[in-house]
A = this chain, B = another copy of it.
Amino acid sequence: MSALHLLDTLSLTSGDITSILDDARLFLTATGLRTSVPPTLQGRTVTLAFFESSTRTRLSFEAAAKRLGAVTLLFTPTGSSVEKGETLGETFATIEAMGVDAIVLRHGVNGIHHEMSQNTSMSIINAGEGSRAHPTQALLDASTLLERLPIRARMAPLDGYRIVIVGDIRHSRVARSNVDVFLKLGAEVALCAPPTLAPDDDTMKGLQYFDCIEDACKWAHVVNLLRIQRERITADIVPGIDEYRERYAMTTERAQRYPDIVITHPGPVSLGVETDARVLTMSQSLVHRQVTHGVAVRMAILQRLLNPPTP
């Protein structure tokens, strides 16, 4: 990753990924984040542009940038020239002309990060792109798993591990990026979803598929849950919460029956749907530790893009 941007995971090799994760590890302690790190981004400016709202990811990037001494500017689409009909290209040209070094962009349109990257000297960091990609989520998930799972084989860091992604895979950018990163790090990856939420394109083809979480649990070392939006629980998609929980949820009871399974979730969790509050506090859940890795991984990415080591 000597590139200017982080547009997706597809362009990263497994060497790029482990190198980012090695950097991230330097920002972590056993229970949190290192409190004093060199301000390697002093004098750099990072703009956060979230065209889909997300307090959680925005705060994570903002914390990451500020911990490294960067100045952050929050671009708010509401009340901005975007609302006055400006194109995103013009908005980017304007932000770049203000001396901004990197833009953290969340946007609902697939492909817009690539499109914008053609014509800017700012670093574009993908913080969520339609249903296509969420590269920092995949990297932080991998970072958290590498910390927890002992290395089993020399081949690759996740070699010998089986990870199943469970939930609304069809609409999930997290699933698409995670599949890519987990495979590159050597894991076996499977999917588990109701047929109505299984992928309907070619982005994740050829993976093993489970129609119920019980079967998946018998196979997997890691269950990577996805959020089920309550809006999806309608007759056509998911008949009801009880039916969903029966076949696809990591309930408290199920987590207790499979105590060796490691559980991850990108958050926010729909409590009482795909899992329970109780599960989040079990030692087999990495959900809160993922958030900490999120800041560390984003620090590593910002630092690599904005202040690469001189060779």
By a beta-carbon cutoff of 8 Å, the part of chain A in contact with chain B is 32-33, 35-36, 43-45, 47, 53-56, 59-60, 62-63, 66-67, 71, 73, 75-82, 84-87, 89-90, 93-100, 229-230, 267-271, 277, 280, 288-292, 294-295
Contacts and interface: CB of A to CB of B under 8 A. Distances in A.
Contacts of A81: 55-56, 267-268
Contact of A73 (B59, B86, B90): B59
Contact of A43 (B36, B63, B85): B36
A98 B55 contact: no
A63 B98 contact: yes
A277 B87 contact: yes
Contact of A292 (B32, B79, B97): B97
A99 B55 CA distance: 15
Contacts of A77: 55
Contacts of A35: 43-44, 99
Contacts of A33: 98-99
B292 A99 contact: yes
A55 to B, nearest CB: 3
Contact of A288 (B36, B75, B93, B292): B93
Contacts of A94: 56, 267-268, 288, 291
